[in-house]
Chains A and B, each alone.
Chain A
Amino acid sequence: MNTKLTYSEQELVALLQQRTDHSFNYLYDNYSGALLGIVAAIVNDHETARDVLQEVFVNVWRKIGSYDPTKGRLFTWMMNVARNAAIDKIRSRSYQDSQKNRELPDNADTSLSSAITGPKIDDVGLKKVLTTLKEEHRVLIDLSYFQGYTHEEISKVLDIPLGTVKTRIRSALTHLRTMIR
């Protein structure tokens, strides 16, 4: 018998707060793919992306009490949990070492400036949409959204005034929006 249920966001939040097997099953069956897609757009390595996905579920499970529905939809919140976990991972020493060993044997420079010269664009989700942006916008979105650099850091390294970084990111985002609508 097919008993596939769908919950409204409100119901789902209540369900998650109960922390039952059913809540986990529902969460996993409905959202693991989308969340892995988000993680995979940031973490290029598949195996690492799966490890991050596990952290994402642990975090969602633990922090569901801090989710505030007045600030945004549950999915947005989970998406940001996923993005944060993925960025934490690519910034971790262990990940950077593994990437170094794999791709940059003679070059220890994995700093921001090298991230700019060679940002990797995969054909995944939002990243695919990125390819439609003009270069100066694409670099800014890649650095801020996919690599998690602050506006200040970007301003310093690219040597662009902070105000300009903000304006360009905003304008790139409004363009992105029209692409995914």
Chain B
Amino acid sequence: MNVQEYISSGIIESYVLGLASPEEQLEFESMSRQHPEVEAARIAFELSLEQQAMANAVQPPADMKQKIQAAVVGGQQEARVIPLDATHSRHTNWIKYAAAASIILLVGSIIWNISLINRNKQLQNNYEGTVAKLNDTQSRLSSFESEVNKLVGNPNVKMAAMKGLEASPSSVATVYWDSTSKDVYLTVNNLPQPPSDQQYQLWAILNGKPIDVGLIANEYFIGEKKLLLRMKNVSGAQAFAITLEHKGGSDTPKGKMYVLGNL
């Protein structure tokens, strides 16, 4: 019989389940020593048996544990009727092991604690960061809300939707102008980021003449974008436009016009 046949003969199951005769057991143990694959097959069957047993566990009632522990410990004391010197050496051994085990447990628990403390700190930092962000978002949202409330539902507010020109056809920006308070608000929907030595400038156009309504800070394109930019007031306008000027702006538009829209 070759090893493979031996493995699949049922001897492994017989041996593990305790059904093999003493002769079969001896034979199996010697085969295991000679052939690692026999041992491997035994271990594999044992593992599947253990899984099966775990899956079919029947939980004993809760009060069993104490009862069994008492029986186990009681039995242990009975068994300790041994010569004095042997008892002594056992005791010292036992104490040594217990001491070693408790030191290992202590060290383990300290390491565990430190890692918990670190983790806790990290979570605390994450939490504080998140709260700060949330507060910031909330304050920005509420100032935006109050600004929007001034515009929406106000019949005096007029809107100019400015569309992209040749320089940047996909650009869009919107101006809200309050004809009574003369306030001007700008929303940049889409403008390319300007070079650092240049700046966008908003113009109101009245009777063909441009009037400066303010610059858009370049920081606006880097940081978190405000939804509404408060610009300079203007007394009257028929249209609005944005041009790209040198940094600091111009008295009259000299750079390329990016967007333009009528009021």
Contacts and interface: CB of A to CB of B under 8 A. Distances in A.
Interface of A: 1, 3, 18-22, 24, 28, 32-38, 40, 49-50, 53-54, 57-58, 61-62, 70-73, 75-76, 79-80, 83-84, 124-126, 128-129, 144-145, 151, 169-174, 176-177, 180-181
B58 A73 contact: no
B14 A20 contact: no
Given A34-B54, A144-B19, A177-B45, A50 B72 contact: no
Contacts of A84: 18
Interface residues of B, number: 51
Nearest to A80: B18
| Majority DSSP secondary structure for residues of B touching A | helix
Contact of B64 (A50, A151, A173): A50
B69 interface: yes
A125 B56 contact: yes
A173 B101 contact: no
Contact of B68 (A1, A37, A57): A57
Contacts of A33: 54, 57-60
Contacts of A49: 58
A19 B59 CA distance: 23
29 contacts: A1-B112, A18-B94, A18-B97, A18-B98, A18-B101, A22-B101, A28-B69, A32-B59, A32-B65, A34-B56, A37-B53, A37-B57, A37-B58, A50-B61, A53-B60, A57-B68, A57-B71, A72-B15, A76-B49, A124-B58, A125-B53, A126-B52, A126-B56, A169-B14, A170-B14, A173-B13, A173-B14, A177-B13, A177-B45
Interface stretch (B3-11, B169-177, B235-243): B3-11
Interface of B: 8-19, 21, 29, 42-43, 45-61, 64-65, 67-69, 71-73, 75-76, 79, 94, 97-98, 101, 109, 112, 116
B114 to A, nearest CB: 13
A73 to B, nearest CB: 5
Nearest to A76: B46
B76 A173 contact: no
Contact of B18 (A19, A58, A83): A83
A170 B97 contact: no
A37 B51 CA distance: 12
B49 A79 contact: yes
A24 B72 contact: yes
Given A173-B17, A177-B45, A50 B60 contact: yes
